Structure 1
């Protein structure tokens, strides 16, 4: 795959992550549920990660420091789900 094609696809993925983050943010505005804010922040971090990959020209993300941003995003999702489940047990 050419570097231009790789950068284009990475940019499209970053934009879609951003759209998903805005989608969850709109749900949070309506419900004020913390799970939606966790997902919105996580997708924002995933968009940032993809953007940095495209700008830095890194083709193997698993071998770069950018992978840590992606790891943080998934940890946010896990924390949001665990918090939501613990909250449901208390009620």
Structure 2
């Protein structure tokens, strides 16, 4: 059951990444590019967790990929909301 749910999360993340990639291509806004990269990283991370035999979410490698993905979201929001002179 865990692998099935992990696969569903991976597919959902990759689809969300494609969704944001489509908006980036039409608008050219880096906000959507950062979100697309973040969701693609999360999806690939979930796929790796599902394929490796003794993988755990507590492993620093998987955790650091997730931190980078969420960091991209924070950077996107920060850049979108900063004041420009």
Q: Summarize deviations over 1:16-65 as a string: whole Å, max 9, x none.
A: 0000000000011111111000000000000011011101145641x112
**Aligned Cα RMSD in Å?**
1.4
Counterpart check, 1:21 vs 2:17:
yes
| Off by >2 Å, runs of 4+ in structure 1 | 57-60
More helix by share: 1
Distance 2:2 2:55 in 1: 8
Is contact 1:49-1:67 (8 Å) kept?
no
- Where structure 1 has 5 or more consecutive residues not aligned to the other structure, the ranges are none
User: Residues of 1 paired with 2:65 and 2:54: CA distance?
Assistant: 14
Q: List gaps (5 residues or longer) in structure 2.
A: none
Aligned residue-pair number: 84
User: Which structure has the larger Rg?
Assistant: 1
